Amino acid sequence: MAVLRFWLWALVLAAASALAKPGDPFFKKLNEKTYQLGNDFWNVTVIGGFGKRLMYNGVDLVGNASGHYVSYNGAANNLSWNLSPPRIVRKSGEYTDIMFSAAEGDMHWVLTPTLLGAYQYFVNRALPRLGEFRTLWRLSNDTFTHGWTTERDAPLARLAEMQEATQKTGDETWVNAQGVSFTKYDLSTFLPNIEGEPTVWGIYGKMPKSGEGIGSWYIHGGKDYLNGDHLKQELMIHRESITGDAVQLNMIHGTHYQARSNDAFAPGKTWGPWLWYLNNGSAADALARARTETAAWPYPWHADERGYASRGALSGSLRLSDGRPASRAAIFLGDTNATAPTLDQGEGYYYRTYAGADGSFHIAHVRAGNYTLHAWPGVGSGIGDVSTVFRAPVTIRSNGSATALDALSWVVPKHKPLFQIGALDRTATGFGLAGGRHEHARARGCPAALNFTVGVDGMEKWCFAQGQPGTWAVRFKAGPGDVGPATLTVSLAAYSAGASAGVYVNDERVGELGPRTLGPGDPSLYRSGTLAGEWRFLEWPAKVREGENVVEFRIAPNSRDKANAANIAMRGFMWDSVLLRLN
């Protein structure tokens, strides 16, 4: 009996595994405008520009939501796959590459027989000069109830909360009946886009009826096609405030936290392949998958004639002119001849890393080509007094060997500052209320007026942002040897237009913080930023006298601030560093 039972059981298993043997991915034309693709585990129907009816375990994960699409300049321009009929362009091993063409470029889905989700990439043909370019899923909100980012794991705000809000106070920002403000921008994060780090975010919930977990994620094994530097932030996920869709954004050229970011792309510029990944809703599993994808980048299966496989490595070592190693400096490979700051570069391919404690760095798999290497003090680097940026040209060759940059020397100012509040790391790290996750109107906790005494107060007394009418003052004593012409350096982590400050040294006006000196504002302070935005760096001549000195930032009361009382804390300056140095 036992033996028979064993054989019956073995037979059942064999039959089940024969049944479960997955077939090739499929691609079908249903009618002139409608196509279906998928594998044995999931499928999606593409109608016009939109992916609808995402079927998985018998459930439509899109439902009444908008589904999958590609757009630029917000929702103003949705791509339409009508340039030529979509088709399978390549089958290599288990990978099937299906291409949808729009006038602007080609969107590819790469499926395998067993992959839950698809690799996706986009090749530019004729995108206009633009700011925001993205792909996204808008999924069923019955199923996808929660969101996960590196900063938050939480339910998405309900549409009803927005509809029942007593007031809309700004950009996607509401106040509820209890007087509490809420905004989608709390769901923003720094990307992450550092070479070698896992990059993943998603939305998840429970399948109707079965109650099984379900998650939909974006995973970027590669980061080089993304715009911006180490401090690039983006909105990752949110509740759509008109329809209530659960939104999973993929901001491949994002501008949510920048003052000016506008790029023209060469034909052939390729974003991806990234992985759109379905699982049971486990963030731990998605994170593990992100680590696997990062280690596997650049993907050997991705056959591409546009330079994808032509890569080399870069190694180097960086030392300051005063002899110190450029310990933990932020290292960025960016455009040659760029006029845009590193955060706003986005037409090409970019590499971001940090030097080690000894100033050495290594970047693997850099696309062949010419770059400008930039270095500045990273957070916690110990070289936060360095007010210069290092730049050097770099050429990467495509034979896979390493390019060595030996003992590059970074020229730094000779004199130590008389005082410095905050490291010059382009972030508000260490100031009062700075950092942690994105949070609406954090600066409301900062005072209107503040006195800081050098040598007495710790840097946390200097709050991370100033925006209300009032004076912030730095008081310091200078000995007889420390008098004379000096340079006042003000480095801002971010600036949101709507407040201006006069800058005074010993009651003499030396400069101004405002649109005339800072240009257009960036949205970071009113979009839940707590650490950085668009970096600004200003220097003014000043005179230091013997004894008591005072540096002041005076925001005068102005009508706009009064009229806009609810937003008062979301306009103004986020600090990076204030320092004074004798010439």
Ligand X SMILES: *[C@@H]1O[C@H](CO)[C@@H](O)[C@H](O)[C@H]1NC(C)=O
The site that binds ligand X (CB under 6 A) totals a number of residues, namely 41
Does residue 184 sit in helix, strand or coil?
Answer: helix
* Ordered DSSP codes for 368-404: SEEEEEEEEEPTT-S-TT----EEEEEEE-TTSPEEE
Q: Which is nearer to ligand X, 42 or 535 (CB)?
A: 42
The DSSP 8-state label assigned to residue 195 in this structure reads: T
Work out whether 287 is an interface residue with ligand X (CB under 6 A). no
User: Out of 55, 287, 309, 392, which residue is the one contacting ligand X (CB under 6 A)?
Assistant: 55
Residue pointed to by tokens 């392949």: 273
- d(C-alpha 478, C-alpha 71), whole Å: 57
Work out whether 313 is an interface residue with ligand X (CB under 6 A). no
Which of positions 20-39 make contact with ligand X (CB under 6 A)?
36, 38
Q: Which is nearer to ligand X, 247 or 434 (CB)?
A: 247
Nearest to 119 by CA among 349, 304, 253, 352: 304
Nearest to 146 by CA among 233, 206, 58: 206
Mask for 153-182, x = binds ligand X (CB under 6 A): -----xxx----------------------
Work out whether 213 is an interface residue with ligand X (CB under 6 A). yes
- d(C-alpha 129, C-alpha 108), whole Å: 22
User: Out of 64, 310, 372, 487, which residue is the one contacting ligand X (CB under 6 A)?
Assistant: 64
First-to-final CA distance of the chain: 96
Phi–psi pair at 9, nearest 5 degrees? -65, -40
Work out whether 80 is an interface residue with ligand X (CB under 6 A). no
Nearest distance, CB of residue 138 and ligand X, angstroms: 7
**Letter for the amino acid at 435?**
G
Instruction: Tell me the residue nearest to ligand X as measured from the CB.
Output: 244
Q: Which is nearer to ligand X, 238 or 581 (CB)?
A: 238
Nearest to 344 by CA among 252, 234, 228: 228
Mask for 427-466, x = binds ligand X (CB under 6 A): ----------------------xxx---------------
Work out whether 399 is an interface residue with ligand X (CB under 6 A). yes
User: Out of 35, 37, 43, 434, which residue is the one contacting ligand X (CB under 6 A)?
Assistant: 43
Q: Which stretch binds ligand X (CB under 6 A): 4-12, 71-79, 184-192, 529-537?
A: 71-79
Peptide bond before residue 273 is cis, with ω within 30 degrees of 0? yes
- d(C-alpha 349, C-alpha 120), whole Å: 18
Q: Which is nearer to ligand X, 253 or 536 (CB)?
A: 253
Q: Which is nearer to ligand X, 324 or 461 (CB)?
A: 461
Sign of CA dihedral 17, 18, 20, 25: positive
Write out the residues near ligand X by the rule CB under 6 A: 36, 38, 43, 55-58, 63-64, 66, 69, 71, 75-76, 78, 140-142, 158-160, 213, 239, 243-244, 280-282, 285, 336-337, 369-370, 395, 397, 399, 401, 449-451, 473
